[in-house]
Amino acid sequence: MTSLFHFKTTAGHRHNYPQVVCPNHAVIGGNRHVMTSKSTVNPSVLRLNKYGTPAIDSPKERVAWVVDTKSPSTGKFGRFGGKFVAETLISALEELEVVFHQVLQDPEFQEELTTALKDYVGRETPLYYAERLTAHYKAQNMGRGPDIYIKREDLAHLGAHKMNNALAQAIIAKRMGLTAVIAATGAGQHGIATAAACAKFGLSCTIFMGTADMEKQPSSVDLMNLLGAKVRPTAGSFKDATSDSIRDWTEKLGEVYYLAGTAVGPHPCPTMVREFQSVIGRETRRQAAEKWGGTPDAVVACVGSGSNALGIFHEFVRDPTVRLIGVEAAGFGLNTGKHAATLAAGEVGVYHGAMSYLLQDEEGQITCPHSVGVGMEYPGVAPELSFLKETGRMEFYSASDEEAVEAYRRVARLEGILPALEASHAFAYLEKLCPTMPDGAKIIISCSGRGEKDTETVFNYPIS
């Protein structure tokens, strides 16, 4: 299949990869990757958008092309994704991929996972009609506006969507006969979820966490310790902890299981995490059908590295009438350099084993992102989301620290729900979205976590 386009890496000096000009083969970092894509779009249409992907106006055709272009076997999402890792890790990744495909087909695994998700995590989480939030926006627009539904991932065990994935992968680790698990965490939610899943299955657990994050989130560290995990400090923040944990994995291949927390990293990690989080979207579709006999008009989710967004988006990617809206962290503002809006302000490069958008300075050094929502502070983003951005399937915006804190307060006051500061970014975007939506349109917003952990931050946040 001839590729419709060829592409260049723009990773910058730090990564030292050559430019790729041959459309079908790329020799990158010593590994051969065959990049192919098939498409149902008429090959004579070669009009490209600014990213070099086909500019398709019809939503239906765009969706069809998107679905076709994802290549599960090589972990490529268009030009994004892949396995940019040291040769030593390749066999481990391939083994993981084999096991992953096995468990997907295994009814025993599915039953164990479904029971655990139901009895341990508390699924399915409700799709809750936010009456007062809806009324709030309608009142600003002469009684007309969208109906707002909240997908309550904050009600999951330990208060975030992270548990869905940690549980499934812990079961996989057990199957592979591995008794030790390692993971990296930023804000701590993934670390806590992994520690809990390991406690439940009797696996030993080591969590890598940046010292800067440990200082910002001491309660997360306490929780991990309580759950029996060992927390290994790394100088720096999440990006450094991730690098460290991948290094540790490389040293201890065959002894430890690396539990990826979000949809980044080398294939098959992004696909695995997305697959296990997509239970969110599947439930949402069913609940929407029950409640109003249709699909949502828009699905809104915050985007840190992208696992909760993909979890709810994935199910709806092939529905052309469903708008997928991601909201990133604008921190102090997109032009201040102190933000974490990777899709908005980043460039394409390879980071942590995958090609994706990332935040880098002129010298190609990874910048330190900032957000009041610590879970948003990742300088990269899921390759699959990069793909959805460039194909125009997903819209992305951002919300500042101040807007997020304001949204936290608003949702608390109107609905008695404290959304995590990360999720508050999605709620903040409603301010701009609702006035543009027709009366009675259905918006589903993902409340990816609960915000008790952020009360102190909001308490100390200077009110303008």
Partner 1 sequence: MAIRAAATSAPTARSSSALSLPPPISSSSSYSSAQLSFGRAKSTTRPRTTVGCAISCTMTREAAAVTSTEKDDSDPALWSRPDSFGRFGKFGGKYVPETLMYALTELESAFNSVKNDPDFQASKLCISAVKAELGGILKDYVGRETPLYFAERLTDHYRRPNGEGPHIYLKREDLNHTGAHKINNAIGQVLLAKRLGKKRIIAETGAGQHGVATATVCARFGLECIIYMGAQDMERQSLNVFRMRLLGAEVRGVHSGTATLKDATSEAIRDWVTNVESTHYILGSVAGPHPYPMMVREFHKVIGEETRRQAMEKWGGKPDILVACVGGGSNAMGLFEDFVKDKDVRLIGVEAAGLGLDSGKHAATLTKGEVGVLHGAMSYLLQDDDGQIIEPHSISAGLDYPGVGPEHSFLKEKGRAEYYCVTDEEALEAFKRVSRLEGIIPALETSHALAYLEKLCPTLPDKTKVVLNCSGRGDKDVQTAIKYLKV
* Integer Cα distance of 383 and 264 in angstroms: 7
In the complex with partner 1, the residue whose CB is nearer, 24 or 140, is: 140
Binds partner 1 by CB under 8 A, chosen from 459, 462, 463, 464: 459
Which three-class secondary structure string do you get for 19-52? CCCCCCEEEECCEEEECCCCCCCCCCCCCECCCC
Query: What is the Cα–Cα distance from 233 to 254, expressed in whole angstroms?
Result: 23
Q: What is the closest distance, in whole angstroms, from the C-beta atom of residue 442 to partner 1 in the complex?
A: 15
Interaction mask 145-184, partner 1, x per CB under 8 A: -------x-xx-x-x-------------------------
Q: How far is the CB of 450 from partner 1 (least distance, A)?
A: 9
Residues 362-421 that bind partner 1 (CB under 8 A): 409, 412-418
Position 139 contacts partner 1 (CB under 8 A): no
Greatest Cα pair distance in the chain: 63
**Per-residue buried b or exposed e for 84-104, using 16+ beta carbons within 10 Å of the residue's own CB:** bbeeebeebbeebbebbeebe
- Contact segment (CB under 8 A) with partner 1 among 40-48, 219-227, 234-242, 384-392 equals 219-227
Query: Based on CB atoms, which residue is closest to partner 1, 28 or 288?
Result: 288
Smallest distance, partner 1 to C-beta of residue 297, A? 20
Residue type, 76: K
Does 455 interact with partner 1 (rule: CB under 8 A)? yes
Nearest to 58 by CA among 76, 72, 45: 45
CA distance 459 to 439: 35
- Sorted by sequence, the CB contacts under 8 Å of residue 111 that are 6+ apart come out as none
Which is it for the CA torsion 113, 117, 118, 123, positive or negative? negative
- Residue 233 is a binding residue for partner 1 (CB under 8 A): no
Name the minimum Å distance from CB 140 to partner 1.
17
Binding residue (CB under 8 A) for partner 1 from 227, 303, 309, 444: 227
Q: Using the rule CB under 8 A, is 197 a contact of partner 1? A: yes
Determine, following the binding rule CB under 8 A, whether residue 318 of this chain makes contact with partner 1.
no
Among the candidate windows 94-102, 115-123, 183-191, 231-239, which touches partner 1 by CB under 8 A? 115-123
What does 70-139 look like in DSSP terms, one character per residue? EETTTTEETTEE---S-HHHHHHHHHHHHHHHHHHH-HHHHHHHHHHIIIII-PSPPEEE-HHHHHHHHH
Task: Report if residue 254 touches partner 1, rule: CB under 8 A.
Answer: no
Residues that contact partner 1, how many (by CB under 8 A)? 43
Q: Is 195 in the site for partner 1 (CB under 8 A)?
A: yes
Q: Binding residues for partner 1, per CB under 8 A?
A: 118-120, 122, 125-129, 132, 152, 154-155, 157, 159, 195-200, 202, 219, 222-223, 225-228, 290, 409, 412-418, 452, 455-456, 458-459
